[in-house]
Chains A and B, each alone.
Chain A
Amino acid sequence: MAEMVKKATRESYGLALAELGDRYPNVVVLDADLAEATKTVIFKKKFPERFIDCGIAECNMVGVAAGLATCGKIPFATSFAMFSTGRAFEQVRNSVGYPHLNVKIVGSHAGISVGEDGATHQCLEDLALMRTIPGMVVLNPADHYEMQAAVKAAIEHYGPVYIRLGRLAVESFNNNDDYHFEIGKGITLRDGRDITVIATGLMVSRAREAVKELEKEGIDARLINLHTLKPIDRDIIVKAAKETGKIVTVEEHNVIGGLGDAVCGVLSEEYPTPVVKIGVNDQFGHSGPAVDLLEQYGLCASHIAEVTRQALKK
């Protein structure tokens, strides 16, 4: 059993890059003046010659990454999710996605758990934006161990990958010996029969608490961690729908275009099943301490548990 740690996934990302840098000499890391915040600074300290600060110019950063990739480099172009996927969306689409280049787009400080910086920096659209690009893999790891595994998998996968990072520290739970990360394969964390909760990213830890709460009340909820939004694990979703009949999705993202819609897309085609989506309901966020904001927007264990109870009653 590996050690129990509580880290933000952005830090896990920086640590993973630095750790894997020796083994993968073609990895280069780009940032847009946010290395201290995105934690690419950890890689920068170890491999200064392979760290490229692009200044506050995300669109150019993505293009430079594309050019580096045509020459065999594996660039990780990193900024806040709002900027790497939002501001530079068209560069990601046309300079990385269309030529299917081996560029990893990384978005830190995703979701409302950015906290005090407020709505301009709280990205609730990145998963939707990145899902629409053909050939783009979309990863949203849930804890320290999963992030480390995801970074390695992204390096070994040829082609564009988006990785979402969080600002808030999260208690790790994937630190068990049989943990196995594979792009496109969801993980069943609890094998219940009454209803299924499917969560992604930071929300997996909150959903774990919710499911524990429900367990005390005798509700046998299945919990699935979908760390990959694209390609989505159709089998695990359809199986859960068939075996539990009801689905609740939880994401720190607009309910439009993210996990909930992806799950609904699969089920409406393969096995129509009632789905309740928990997420940010087509609103902007605002300033405040991250944990308080998550609570206010219903992205906390008690709300997930309550929505799941209500869904069961329907």
Chain B
Amino acid sequence: MEQKEKRALQVAACKIRIGAIEGVYHAKSGHPGGSLSAADIFADLYFRELHVDPKNPKDENRDRFVLSKGHTCPGLYAALALKGYFPWDELKKLRHIGAMLQGHPDMKGTPGIDMSTGSLGQGVSAACGMALAGKLDGKSYRVYSLLGDGEIEEGQVWEAAMFAGHHKLDNLCLIVDNNGLQIDGPVEEVGGPQPIGEKFQAFGFDVQNIDGHDFDAIDAAFAHAKTVKGKPSVIVAKTIKGKDVSFMENQVGWHGKAPNDEQYQVAMRDLNKVLSGLEAE
């Protein structure tokens, strides 16, 4: 990837982080930690990988994206707003009564949302159904789904993994946001889904382990996934929960909590510093 393209993705990711914090701050609730850890993945998906058109969000030939870890929609909403699906100001109405942006993704009301999610483990099954429909109809679209590393403690994820492997859904690419933290503490202490890659491998997946904040790595992983035939792909992306907001990074407490006025100012200062650094380069 050229330096200029990479810089553009980094800028997009930073804006997604700003949008996620705006949303959660104005909602006075929501999930910042996992929105920030997944921001680079959202940026690469919506500004490089996915064949989607915000002017035609229901195009039957579009690539699909299912946010199986639906609670991190503040990040996804920011990516969709940045892409042009709806105005940026909608982010400030997140979770408000009568607002379009629900606390968890609602496909009925929000353009660009391909599946309603939020109950963990369910999105990945729907993604399997979309991939299977593509196979049945001989279409070339691809289906992407982002899961949390805590989410994969849900049994349904492994039912879906078995299904995807068995049906050889090579048009399906899962990404695990491996930020290592869930509500009750470190993932390895709470539920212990490790080793993640080996589990998916056992279910018939092509497995790649990458740094989820390195756009060269993300890009290469998506490119490789497209070359895999006869089996689904999973990209296990090592990430930092709360990335780029100083007081949120790697803090369990910032899974599902909104910053207060003072914390909001600090977060915006942190992120704007990253943004101006990128834009100055």
Q: Point out residues on A near B: beta carbons under 8 Å.
A: 28, 49-50, 52, 54-55, 57, 59-60, 62-73, 75, 90-91, 94-95, 98-100
Contacts and interface: CB of A to CB of B under 8 A. Distances in A.
Find the residue from B124, B128, B133 having the highest chain A CB count within 10 A: B133
Given A67-B130, A94-B119, A55 B60 contact: no
B156 to A, nearest CB: 5
Contacts of B130: 67-68, 70-71
Interface string B96-109: 00000000001110
A66 B125 contact: yes
Given A52-B132, A70-B115, A63 B125 contact: yes
Interface in B61-115: 64, 66, 106-108, 114-115
Q: Chain A contact residues: over half helix, strand or loop, or mixed? A: helix
Contacts of B160: 60, 63-64
B122 A95 contact: yes
A71 B163 contact: no
A28 B121 CA distance: 23
Contact of A98 (B64, B114, B116): B116
Contacts, number: 105
A99 B125 contact: no
A66 B133 contact: no
A59 B125 contact: yes
Interface string B132-156: 1110110000000000000000011
A153 to B, nearest CB: 24
Contact of A69 (B60, B121, B129, B166): B129
A60 B159 contact: yes
Interface in B162-217: 162-163, 166
A99 B115 contact: yes
Contacts of A54: 163
B230 interface: no
A148 to B, nearest CB: 25
A73 B128 CA distance: 14
Nearest to B139: A71
Given A28-B136, A99-B108, A71 B129 contact: yes
Find the residue from A50, A65, A66 having the highest chain B CB count within 10 A: A66
Contacts of A69: 129
Contact of A67 (B127, B159, B162): B127
A63 B66 CA distance: 12
A70 B118 contact: no
B207 to A, nearest CB: 20
A94 B122 CA distance: 8
B108 A100 contact: yes
A55 B125 contact: no
Contact of A50 (B60, B107, B116, B136): B136
Given A63-B126, A70-B126, A95 B116 contact: yes
Contacts of A98: 106, 116
B116 A99 contact: yes
The list of the 5 closest CB pairs from A to B, nearest first, reads: A67-B129, A63-B125, A71-B133, A60-B159, A67-B126
Contact of A59 (B60, B107, B131, B159): B159
A64 B119 contact: no
Contacts of B121: 59
Contacts of B60: 71-72
A57 B159 contact: yes
22 contacts: A52-B132, A57-B163, A59-B121, A59-B156, A60-B125, A60-B163, A63-B126, A63-B160, A64-B129, A64-B132, A64-B160, A67-B66, A67-B127, A67-B133, A70-B64, A70-B129, A70-B133, A71-B133, A75-B129, A90-B119, A94-B118, A95-B125
Contacts of A94: 116, 118-119, 122
B223 to A, nearest CB: 25
A55 B162 CA distance: 9
A73 B125 contact: no
A98 to B, nearest CB: 5
B49 to A, nearest CB: 19
A64 B137 CA distance: 15
Given A60-B160, A71-B134, A95-B122, 19 more contacts: A50-B136, A55-B162, A55-B163, A55-B166, A57-B162, A63-B124, A63-B156, A66-B125, A67-B125, A67-B127, A68-B133, A70-B133, A71-B130, A71-B137, A90-B119, A91-B156, A94-B116, A95-B126, A98-B106
B107 A64 contact: no
A165 to B, nearest CB: 23
Contacts of B156: 59-60, 63, 91
A59 B128 CA distance: 13
A62 B119 CA distance: 14
A46 to B, nearest CB: 16
B136 A66 contact: no
A70 B113 CA distance: 11
Contacts of A75: 129
A70 B114 contact: yes
Contacts of A60: 125, 128, 156, 159-160, 162-163
